[in-house]
A and B are shown apart, each in its own frame.
Chain A
Amino acid sequence: GEDVEQSLFLSVREGDSSVINCTYTDSSSTYLYWYKQEPGAGLQLLTYIFSNMDMKQDQRLTVLLNKKDKHLSLRIADTQTGDSAIYFCAETDSSYKLIFGSGTRLLVRP
């Protein structure tokens, strides 16, 4: 079945760039998503990319999509302490159901 894999943890210094990686299995996904979850809160959509694109930039966020390798990444430029959270990659299956990865915990050190 569909599966989304992410690394569990990333630690960066404030001001550096963060890169969170994800691999997915369903090549039919129309959109791929990055959600952010802060402690005690629900998930918030950060950005998404249409499957026929290979890059999307939105302020400090850059999403790169490699369809051949089924690899998705999220780059956060000038990472701030407020960016500390769990980041989830998600794909959609053939019934448009969201399939989430296990999340990458980003820790930003001052």
Chain B
Amino acid sequence: EAGVVQSPRYKIIEKKQPVAFWCNPISGHNTLYWYLQNLGQGPELLIRYENEEAVDDSQLPKDRFSAERLKGVDSTLKIQPAELGDSAVYLCASESRSDYNEQFFGPGTRLTVL
């Protein structure tokens, strides 16, 4: 079974530029998450989708961040414009319908803003 796929793995941009990250969850997983992981920290939730609906986006900085999950499968997270403080790893995860809510994580996209 293929895992969660993310691309690109690494991205270096200058501040004020736009950037987009893509995630393909595990087939059949209806729940998709985007997390932000700063260096030396645990992941922090940005947004959660149930199918194509964003059910928790309370921690997404909506002035510059946006996300979409068209057709309830792949998802894209965008930052426009990027700031220096956005340098981090952006993780995507998807969840199976299990009793213990296991989340499966992709390898992440490491963003560096110069």
Decide if B41 touches A103 in the complex (CB within 8 Å).
Answer: yes
Decide if A95 touches B102 in the complex (CB within 8 Å).
Answer: no
- Could you tell me which residues of chain B, from 71 to 114, have a CB within 8 Å of some CB in chain A? 91, 93, 100-108
Q: Does B28 belong to the interface (CB within 8 Å)?
A: no
Question: When A31-B101, A45-B102 are in contact, do A98 and B45 touch as well, CB less than 8 Å?
Answer: yes
- Could you tell me which residues of chain B, from 10 to 64, have a CB within 8 Å of some CB in chain A? 40-45, 48, 56
Secondary structure of the B contact surface, majority rule: loop
Bound-state CA distance A50–B48 (Å) is 23
Chain B: interface size category = 20 to 34
Closest to A47 in B: B100
Bound-state CA distance A39–B104 (Å) is 16
Chain B residues with CB under 8 Å of chain A are 4, 40-45, 48, 56, 91, 93, 100-108
- Besides the contacts A48-B102, A98-B43, A103-B42, what 13 more A-B pairs have beta carbons closer than 8 Å? A43-B93, A43-B103, A45-B102, A45-B104, A48-B100, A88-B42, A90-B42, A92-B101, A97-B48, A98-B103, A100-B44, A102-B41, A103-B40
30 A-B residue pairings within 8 Å (CB atoms): A31-B100, A31-B101, A41-B107, A41-B108, A42-B4, A42-B105, A42-B106, A42-B107, A42-B108, A43-B43, A43-B93, A43-B105, A44-B105, A45-B102, A45-B104, A48-B100, A48-B102, A50-B100, A88-B42, A88-B43, A92-B101, A95-B56, A97-B56, A98-B43, A98-B45, A98-B103, A100-B44, A102-B40, A102-B42, A103-B40
